[in-house]
Chain A
């Protein structure tokens, strides 16, 4: 038995809303599922390559809404390298890195169960004549 070939424009029009809704829903779930209400901020988030390769970054984090007891860990890595532990301690705090954060440097906030709460990546702008 072959499937009927439906061409009624109303059916086609309504039917196409479903994939749209599906995509929107998937993106919404993907966007909201991981990060909860924890906060991780780096300052600056972007720096000019004119400043040099490495800079110092101020990091502030607050995971008190998701980590009631226990500690959090902050892992850092550069692109292509394994993350290494940078800080471990209370769910809220702030600290400065040394002058070793560079383009693509990434910091990840995780809880005691190794759930990733938030991730930030340091970005650069190219050093052009104008930006000098």
Chain B
């Protein structure tokens, strides 16, 4: 055996350490590069657009931290690099799919969704990806990990101090980033990243997905804890007008009407598409109701998905614009009591029931509905053996459940039903009656996929319209006063069809409106454009009930916005109602209105410190 001199061994050790450091640096640079390329690819941009920018560098910080942490934990550099790359690819694949189907990028709020994963979520998500591919990938990944652990050389020696130090630094960096530490606010500052507040897509374009997620998280924390703009609230409260708007629409009745609210999945009127002249024959009950009752168009705070956003606004009358960074309100706004028109009805002796043929934990509804004030929630387990049409429980089965619930009622009843039949995806949809689907007329010039998607969608909303007519007839012949409320929660994600057919008004899908109406005992005809947070006030007024203070302010805002088309005036109204909505959510509105501006300010300061 050759004898190696001590200086030579020392020199080799130094070279080895230097090479190791260089290797980590090179792989970190490779991760920065590949993360940016994936980011661009997920948005279908040129693969290095906005490369060499501040955003592109800081976008990779969490990725490199994950790599360093894995390196320290696994002690294998190729394995750590590969896992990091796979995780990053998965993130950007999710971003690609979310952009494709929902028109919005992945956001920090999606972390709440991951925390609430359950079987029905996985089933829904599996409709959008090929499960077999995922399984094959999982097996390959497991084989790669096993081979790497077995074959790859350990990176650190035994009892390595640098390994422990690296683990600590990387873990601290990741945990503090997730917790929104101060350094995140500095590194991911809006001015450095070129954040565009109104457009998550332009923010991602300039700063990268990961940068924009971390920036948004910091902003979200600031938003929820920020002091409320009392001046804006005061300016709106002091505005003249709107008193008439708060009056009940229907004279008080000896009997309280039953109230049925149907939130119809993805329901919009395709008559607003070019080459679709009208939908009088395909959606006859919608048009009958719009002619008979109060209704028109409604601005929903979401497009292509995100049902809970519209649902939250309708139930609470709180505009989500008051919480600009809240994407999934049922998951992000969690408090024991969430004020709602449901709670107002309970004070008037109503029993309150929610119906939705899905897993009760989906979107955290089982928790949120209790906080909002529902006494019962009839979910998937109440629909055993119910008829499906397409992927989901049919609207006929949901209507059966509404009717059965009304028949069992012993006191005035609120039924809030969320349909599910018309939920996407709309390609390869196993509808019950393909012959009827294939006979549906469609705009000329649609490609095969767009045509199939459109027809499947139309098939389902024709079913929704049919069930609407059935429910309305039932309520008319039941012999009790009633209010029937119906609206679409958002436009559907008709990815192919909307790509080939324009809208009559030349605007894009997210700028279109859904239909809404209220019909029933004493409700007179009227046409009005509303936003979904105005619905609760209109429901209470249509039921002949006096409006509590917040709902009077909502009615005032609704009336004022309609009468004041100029933007400056609209800003006063919207900023005011947003400030008041946040006071309302904190349970501080009554005190604010009772004590006036100065004392209200004290209340607000206290509230903001909670």
Which residues of chain A have a CB within 8 Å of any CB of chain B?
3, 5-7, 9-13, 15-16, 19-20, 22-23, 27, 30, 77, 79-84, 103-104, 106, 108, 119-121, 123, 126
Q: Does B201 contact A (CB under 8 A)?
A: yes
B154 contacts the other chain (CB 8 A): yes
Q: Which A residues are CB-close (under 8 A) to B34?
A: 27, 30
Contact present for A13 and B15 (CB under 8 Å): yes
**Interchain CB contact under 8 A, B23 and A104:** no
Contact, CB under 8 Å: A7 / B157: yes
Whether A13 touches B45, Cβ cut-off 8 Å, given contacts A23-B30, A80-B103, is: no
Contact present for B13 and A79 (CB under 8 Å): no
Chain B positions within 8 Å of A6 at CB level: 153
Q: How far is the CA of A16 from the CA of B12 in the complex (A)?
A: 14
B residues apposed to A, CB below 8 Å: 9, 12-13, 15-16, 19-20, 23, 26-27, 30, 33-34, 37, 40, 43-47, 49-50, 77-78, 81, 99, 103-105, 150-151, 153-154, 157-158, 194, 201-202, 204-205, 495, 498-499, 508
B201, A126: Cβ atoms closer than 8 Å: no
CB-contact partner of B27 in A10, A12, A23, under 8 A: A23
Which residue of chain B is the closest to A79 with respect to CB atoms?
B201
| CA distance in complex: A9, B275 (Å) | 74
Q: Report B-chain residues with C-beta under 8 Å of the C-beta of A120.
A: 46
> Please, which residues of chain A bring their CB within 8 A of the CB of B81?
19, 23
Residue of A nearest to B508 (CB): A81
A3 to chain B: closest CB distance in Å?
Answer: 7
Instruction: List, sorted by A's number, 5 A–B pairs whose CB atoms are closer than 8 Å.
Output: A10-B12, A23-B27, A23-B81, A30-B34, A104-B49
- Name the distance in Å between A8's Cβ and chain B's nearest Cβ: 9
Asked if B26 and A23 make an inter-chain contact with CB atoms under 8 angstroms apart, the answer reads: yes
Beyond contacts A23-B27, A119-B45: 6 other A-B pairs, Cβ-Cβ < 8 A, are A9-B13, A9-B16, A15-B153, A77-B44, A79-B202, A121-B50
> How far, in angstroms, from A81 to B4 measured CA to CA in the complex?
65
**Contact partners of B201 in chain A: CB under 8 A:** 79-80, 104
CB distance from B121 to the nearest CB of A (A): 24
**Complex: A83 Cα to B44 Cα, angstroms:** 9
Q: Are the C-beta atoms of A79 and B45 separated by less than 8 Å?
A: yes
Q: Is the interface of A mostly helix, strand, loop or mixed?
A: mixed
Distance in angstroms from A61 CB to nearest chain B CB is 14
| CB-defined contacts of B20 to chain A, threshold 8 Å | 16
Taking the closest CB of chain B, its distance from the CB of A110, in whole angstroms, is: 12
- In angstroms, how far is the closest chain A Cβ from the Cβ of B404? 43
Query: Assuming A20-B26, A103-B205, A104-B205, is B194 touching A126 (CB within 8 A)?
Result: yes
Interface residue from B37, B44, B49, B77 paired with A123 (Cβ < 8 Å): B49
Q: A12-B153, A27-B30 are in contact. Are A82 and B499 (CB under 8 A)?
A: yes
SS class, residues of chain B in contact with chain A: helix
Do B499 and A79 touch (CB < 8 A)? no
Tell whether, in the assembled complex, residue A106 and residue B23 are in contact, meaning their CB atoms are under 8 Å apart. Answer: no
Are A12 and B45 in contact, with the CB atoms below 8 A? no
The answer to whether B16 and A19 touch across the interface, beta carbons within 8 angstroms, is no
The answer to whether A3 touches B150, judged by C-beta atoms less than 8 angstroms apart, is yes
* A84 touching B37 in the complex, CB below 8 Å, given contacts A79-B43, A79-B201, A106-B46: no
Q: How far, in Å, is B497 (CB) from chain A's closest CB? A: 11
State how many angstroms separate the Cβ of A121 from the closest Cβ of chain B. Answer: 4
A107 to chain B, nearest CB (A): 9
Minimum Cβ distance to chain A for residue B193 (Å)? 11
> Is A80 a contact partner of B46 (Cβ separation < 8 A)?
no
Instruction: Please name all residues of chain A whose beta carbon is closer than 8 Å to the beta carbon of B49 when the two chains form the complex.
Output: 104, 106, 121, 123
Distance of B145 from chain A, by nearest CB (Å): 15
CB–CB B202/A20 < 8 A: no
**Which residue on chain A has the smallest CB distance to residue B33?**
A27
Q: For the complex, what is the distance from the CA of A126 to the CA of B50, rounded to whole Å?
A: 13
Kindly list the 6 A-B residue pairs having the minimum CB-CB distance in the complex, ordered from nearest: A121-B49, A121-B46, A9-B12, A82-B499, A80-B201, A79-B201
- CB A128 to nearest CB in B, in angstroms, measures 10
B-side contacts of A9, CB under 8 Å: 9, 12-13, 15-16
Which residues of A are found within 8 Å of B77, using beta-carbon distances?
A: 16, 19
Which residues of A lie under 8 Å from residue B204 when comparing CB positions?
79
Let me know if A80 and B105 touch, CB within 8 A: yes
B153 touches A104 (CB 8 A): no
Q: Which residues of B contact A11 (CB under 8 A)?
A: 153
Residue of B nearest to A105 (CB): B45
State in angstroms the CA–CA spacing of A83 and B205 once bound together: 16
Q: Which residue of A lies closest to B10 (CB)?
A: A9
Residues in chain B near residue A84, CB distance under 8 A: 499
Is the Cβ of B50 less than 8 Å from the Cβ of A123? yes
| Chain A nearest Cβ from B214, distance in angstroms | 19
Nearest A residue (CB) for B104: A80
Q: How far is the CB of B320 from chain A (nearest CB, A)?
A: 20
The residue from B26, B45, B157 contacting A104, defined by CB atoms under 8 A apart: B45
Q: Give A9 to B43 CA distance when docked, in angstroms.
A: 45
Q: Are A13 and B16 in contact (CB under 8 A)?
A: yes
Smallest CB separation, B3 vs chain A (Å): 15
What is the CA–CA distance of A11 and B153 in the complex, to the nearest angstrom?
Answer: 10
Cross-interface CB contact of A19 among B15, B46, B78, B499, cutoff 8 Å: B78
Residues of A within 8 A of B194 (CB): 126
Among residues of A, the one whose C-beta sits closest to the C-beta of B15 is A13
Complex: how many Å from CA A15 to CA B153?
8
Determine the chain B residues whose CB is within 8 A of the CB of A108 once the complex forms.
44
CA–CA, A81 and B20, complex, Å = 44
